[in-house]
Amino acid sequence: MELLGAILSTATIAAMIRSATPLTLAAMGGIFSERGGVINIALEGIMLTGAFTAVLFSTIGASIGLPAGASAMLGVAAAVIFGLAIALIHAYFSITLRVNQLVSGVAINMLAFGITGLLLQLIFNVTGNSPAAPDMKPMPIPFLADIPVLGPILFQHQPIVYVMFLAVPFSAFLIKSTPYGLRLRAAGDKPAAIDTVGVDVHRIRYIGVGLSGVFAGLAGAYLSLGQLNFFSEGMTSGRGFIALAAVIFGNWRPWQAFGAALLFGFSDAVQIALQNAGMSVPSDFLLMAPYVVTLIALAGFIKKAVPPAAIGQPYPAEEPI
């Protein structure tokens, strides 16, 4: 009973929300890209770059005398901008140059891992972990934070967590209920149909991939300035791929992907709770729990997932003459 209490405690549920935040943000980005027909496995690299950029610019802000909060916000803004820039590079290769989308994504991931490690040494003169930077502090919402049970779970987080709460309904509304969302879905299913009525398929796809960079960059900033206050080499630890798993598990729909991210976040929170409870299980086994849950979830659901019909396909299908 004591172990069950630790797993279902408000602290564990709040930790689930925190663990699910970067996954949810990256998953929302993945949905925008892939509903438009562009596979984006570069989410991992974009998140990693966002995490590094956030710490770098937060440190720069502190060095020029900005308050800690302003320095952290500068870092977050920089992460979003750099995330957008890298996503647009992926869009250029995938959409304009018609490079294989998987190859482009893998290249960006490898480049991000190498460049962030190199810049960590060149700029901070360290390897492994960067020096501490001004981070984002919890921002309890007045009155709501004092509600028993729900307060600690939902209303005592850093600002990016609240952004995540808003990102899910925003994404669902934008994709389902706006003219752009209709065109985005058409670009991923039947691009030729909207092309014949004068809609620029490339433009629609560029916007979708750009939004994926914004969300993934923000997710990376949360990892380094929300959960921690420093950058660590390879700190994304596969979260970009888990976010893609949430996209597939959620059948490319925001609310369902959010549910999948919560499931993966819960598995991460549980392994932390079990370690804190002193459970006599090797720590490496507990650390791999979120990845095992991801594999099991995908193995049971992958055949039921229905991806956009034109995902991964360049448009037009043949190089114009």
Question: Which pLDDT value is given to residue 306?
Answer: 83
Residue 78 backbone phi and psi in degrees, to 5: -65, -40
Q: How far is it, in rounded angstroms, from Cα 43 to Cα 27?
A: 9
**CA nearest 253: which of 28, 54, 6, 9?**
28
CA distance 136 to 70: 9
> Which residues are within 8 A (CB) of 32 and not within 5 positions of it... i.e. 6 or more apart?
171, 175, 184, 208, 209, 211, 212, 215
Please tell me the distance from the alpha carbon of residue 106 to that of residue 315, in angstroms, as a whole number: 21
Amino acid making up residue 303: K
Cα–Cα distance for residue pair 209/189, rounded to 1 Å: 16
Cα–Cα distance measured from residue 205 to residue 234, given in angstroms and rounded to the nearest whole number: 29
Residue 315 is predicted with a pLDDT of 87
| One-letter amino acid for residue 112 of the chain | A
- Residue 225: name the closest of 66, 49, 27, 58 by CA: 58
Torsion, CA 258, CA 263, CA 267, CA 272, rounded to 10? 50
Structural Rg of the chain based on CA atoms? 20
Q: Is the pTM of this model over 0.75?
A: yes
Q: Tell me how far apart the alpha carbons of residues 12 and 48 are, in angstroms, rounded to a whole number.
A: 26
Query: What does the pLDDT read at residue 321?
Result: 38
CB 67 within 8 A of CB 131: no
**What is the DSSP track for 224-239?**
IIII-SS-BTTTTTTH
> How do the residues of the chain divide into helix, strand and coil, expressed in percent and rounded to 5?
70, 0, 30
pLDDT at 6: 62
Which 8-state DSSP code applies to residue 158? -
Compute, in degrees rounded to 10, the torsion defined by CA atoms 297, 301, 307, 313.
Answer: 70
Q: Which of 88, 41, 107 is nearest to 239 (CA)?
A: 41
Q: How far apart are CA 104 and CA 239, in angstroms?
A: 19
**Are 68 and 198 a contacting pair, CB within 8 Å?**
no
pLDDT below 70 — which residues of the chain?
1-6, 277-287, 289-290, 297-303, 317-321
Q: Which two tokens stand for residue 120?
A: 């960590």
Question: What residue has token string 């209920």?
Answer: 177
